[in-house]
Amino acid sequence: MAEKKELYGYDEEDILTLEFDDGEEEECGILGVFDALGKEYIALNPLGTEDVYIYGYKEYEEDYELLDIDDEEEFKKVVEEFEKLAVE
């Protein structure tokens, strides 16, 4: 019998699996894609936690790419924008 996955209120199509450089994987619910600083970003919630991960986001015809935000100032501004959207 297949193990039932706990979705934590997300639809199955709203969950993606992050694969880290060390081989670890983490399933995350997609909180949303949003614009800030003239770019698109995505907010993810690791299932079963209250954490939020924010990445740069590029969507292609059949795929997407998550981009690390290396610039501290950019990250700070993006988090501020996400927090404004989250309280609306």
pTM (2 decimals)?
Answer: 0.86
Nearest CA-CA partner of 32 in 5, 62, 55, 63:
55
**81: enclosing H helix or E strand:** helix 72-87
pLDDT at 9: 83
**Token reading at 30:** 């997609």
Question: How many Cα neighbours within 13 Å face the side chain of 81?
Answer: 19
Q: What is the pLDDT along the chain (88 residues), one digit of tens a residue?
A: 445 567 788 888 899 999 989 999 999 999 999 999 999 999 999 999 999 999 999 999 989 999 999 999 999 999 999 999 887 6
